[in-house]
Chain A
Amino acid sequence: MDDKGVKFVIGIYEDEDVLLDAISSVRAKGVNIYEVYSPFPVHGIESRLGYKRSRLSIAAFCFGFLGTCLALTMMIGMTTIDWPMIIGGKDFLPLPVFIPVTFEMTVLLSAFGMVGTFFVISDLKPWGKPKTFDLRSTDDKHVMAIEIEKNNMSEAALKKLLKSNGASEANSKLMDE
């Protein structure tokens, strides 16, 4: 392993309650936490980490609106403008008939758009490389990662801080960015 990359200190936690308290006390020391990984959803972890609310719902609305517009444009373009046809004695623009397809397209695009957006922002995109600080975070351990450069504490001091807050291990790891 060469020396290129970013250096992290990672703390391993066994219990989620210890982890939650540790997050609070580490942040109270002014330490900037890079990310916390856990094998299952931990209730209330976002507010402890001070995360702002996800903007995923805004993306969902935009994609949904796009779906509405696309569906209406497609149907009106085809059956009203391009090749007007009378179906079932209805107008050339039978709006109620278009609603189910519009609804489906709205739901489809907002769902797909949301999944896609989520993959991109959380590094799960096909060309992305998800960061795994410790493989045990996919099994039964919680992992707290702290970027050394972003904090004005030494590596040893950070390790000591994590240990004093209930971490069962405190390691350092080099990740290539």
Chain B
Amino acid sequence: MKDIFDFNIGIKKNLLYLFFGGLILSIIGVFQLINSGHGHEESTEIVNAYISDDGHSEFHWYKRLYSNLWINVVYFLGISISAIFFVAIQYVSQSGWSAGILRVPLAIGRWLLPGSVLMLIVFAITNHDIFHWTHEYLYDKSDPRYDYVIDGKKAYLNLPFFLGRMVFFLGIWYLFYALILKHVAKEDKFGGTESWKKLFTISTVFVVIYAFTQSVAAWDWVLSIDTHWFSTMFGWYVFASWWVSALALITYMIITLKDNGYLSFINHSVIHDLGKFVFAFSVFWTYIWFSQFLLIYYANIPEETIYYVERLESDFYFPFFIVNLVLNFFFPFFFLMTRASKRFTRFLKVACPMILFGHFIDFYLMVTPGVLKENGGFGFLEIGVLMVFLSAFLYVILSGLTKLPLVAKNHPMLEESLHHDI
């Protein structure tokens, strides 16, 4: 049995290919954008005419790049914090079945630190282009572009408070992740149940803090893009999307590791439970998505329906709206419904990447229409930036996987995990 993950040169080479492939696609995408005249002299006037009465700034090609950077930053950071949340939940519930697999979500959490730094950098570059509310003139009563609604939200949506929240959330998440890592390493070294009891306390506090901070983070990082619009379901909606992506990634990584000779002690019942998680939370995501949609559809208040008008009435975004629902609900619902499909890895190996891509589309659909309006596009640039981020993300989590042994040999409930039977 291979105990420590071997991050060999072959995998690194593939990640490098992925990175450069993504980079080349992104550059092609950028050149396409510049050459199509999208956002340069000729077309900006038309765009301006449409948007200027709204007070929005004109469209430039780099806005699309920024919007992509932000989507990927939020998406991957969310997956990594949700993976840590998964670990915390296992300790809070004192679960035995998952004792053997916890090292995989712990490794996914390694992205949290680089992801946080990246988020701060990307925010520093893109703030005016993505977050409309960061413009000073919106709050200036003498300016013709003064916005009464946004001015009313000034107490919450102002740069110092926003940045403070961002740093606080990322910091406190990382603090708890570091604590969990410390005690896991301690458990490996000394054994006994002391670390396990400590981890229970740490995880309990973390779960409570995460429940509040995650919701607020979702308002800040995603909801505030559509500054005028609001939804009380949004924190949950983003949580569901992150959470199911993290579950799909954990499942996919465990299956792949098992296929490559690692984690050979993981039996089909554990895979089955992970598959149930992916299935159940795909339905949970749909529940949240639909609750948000139904209330707005039924109440039919213009300031709320605008969010869906932008997505449903647009020829460009409407197909994504359908793809989002098909990939994230209909496909997993029917594909993973039977017991056999969750028990045998062949189905999950198809379903997990599809769900991961589906939730990337979900975030694309949350961010892009608000930032780019009718100038949105999906082409080389989107795929390229996603590939660049994916390669960096995989590099960080795979090198994180080598830092601890794959088996938590001193976990007091390891034995239960090895004999898990459902």
By a beta-carbon cutoff of 8 Å, the part of chain A in contact with chain B is: 43-44, 53, 57, 61, 88-90, 96-97, 99-100
Q: Are B339 and A96 in contact (CB under 8 A)?
A: no
Residues of B within 8 A of A (CB): 290, 293-294, 297-298, 300, 337, 339, 421
The interface residues of chain A lying within 8 Å CB-to-CB of B421 are 43-44
A99 and B290 contact, CB distance less than 8 A: yes
What A residues does B300 contact at CB under 8 A? 88-89
Q: A96 vs B286: C-alpha distance in the bound complex, in angstroms?
A: 13
Q: Are B339 and A57 in contact (CB under 8 A)?
A: yes
**Which 3 A-B pairs give the minimum distances between C-beta atoms?**
A96-B297, A96-B294, A89-B300
17 contacts between A and B (CB under 8 A): A43-B421, A44-B421, A53-B339, A57-B339, A61-B337, A89-B300, A90-B298, A96-B290, A96-B293, A96-B294, A96-B297, A96-B298, A97-B294, A97-B297, A97-B298, A99-B290, A99-B294
Which chain B positions have C-beta within 8 A of A96? 290, 293-294, 297-298
Contacts of B293 in A (CB 8 A): 96
CB distance from A45 to the nearest CB of B (A): 12
Shortest Cβ gap from A99 to chain B (Å) = 7
A57 closest partner in B (C-beta)? B339
B297 proximity list for chain A (CB < 8 A): 96-97
- B291 nearest CB neighbor, chain A only: A100
7 extra A-B contacts, CB within 8 A, seeds A43-B421, A99-B294: A57-B339, A88-B298, A88-B300, A96-B290, A96-B294, A96-B298, A99-B290
Chain B residues near A90 (CB-CB < 8 A): 298
Closest to B296 in A: A96
Q: How far is the CB of A94 from chain B (nearest CB, A)?
A: 8
A89 to B302 Cα, complex, angstroms:
13
Query: Which residues of chain B are within 8 angstroms of A43 by Cβ–Cβ distance?
Result: 421
Rounded to whole angstroms, the CA-CA distance of A61 and B339 in the bound complex is: 13
* Residues of B close to A97: CB separation below 8 A: 294, 297-298
Known contacts A88-B300, A89-B300: A100-B339 contact under CB 8 Å:
no
* Interchain nearest-CB distance for B206 vs A (Å): 33
Nearest B residue to A87 via CB reads B298
- Separation in Å of the A70 CB from the closest CB of chain B? 20
A99 to B300, CA, bound (A): 17
B287 (CB) vs chain A CBs: closest residue:
A103
Closest CB in chain B relative to A71 CB, distance in Å:
16
Q: In the complex the two chains form, is A100's CB within 8 Å of B294's CB?
A: yes
Question: Nearest Cβ distance between residue B91 and chain A, in whole angstroms?
Answer: 25
Inter-chain CA distance A57–B290, complex, in Å, is: 26
State the CA gap A115–B113 with chains docked (Å). Answer: 50
Which residues of B are found within 8 Å of A88, using beta-carbon distances? Answer: 298, 300
Question: How far, in angstroms, from A166 to B337 measured CA to CA in the complex?
Answer: 42
Q: Which residues from chain A contact B298 at a C-beta distance below 8 Å? A: 88, 90, 96-97
| Smallest Cβ-Cβ distance to B299: which chain A residue | A88
A43 to B419, CA, bound (A): 12
Question: Closest CB of chain B to A86's CB: distance in Å?
Answer: 12
**For A53, what are the chain B residues with a Cβ–Cβ distance below 8 Å?**
339
| CB closest residue in chain A, given B422 | A43
Q: How far is the CA of A71 from the CA of B406 in the complex (A)?
A: 50
Alpha-carbon separation in the docked complex, A44 to B419 (Å): 12
Chain A residues near B290 (CB, 8 Å)? Answer: 96, 99
Q: Which residues from chain B contact A99 at a C-beta distance below 8 Å?
A: 290, 294
A119 to B421, CA, bound (A): 27
CA distance A90 to B300 in the complex (A): 9
From B294, which residue of chain A is reached at the shortest CB distance? A96
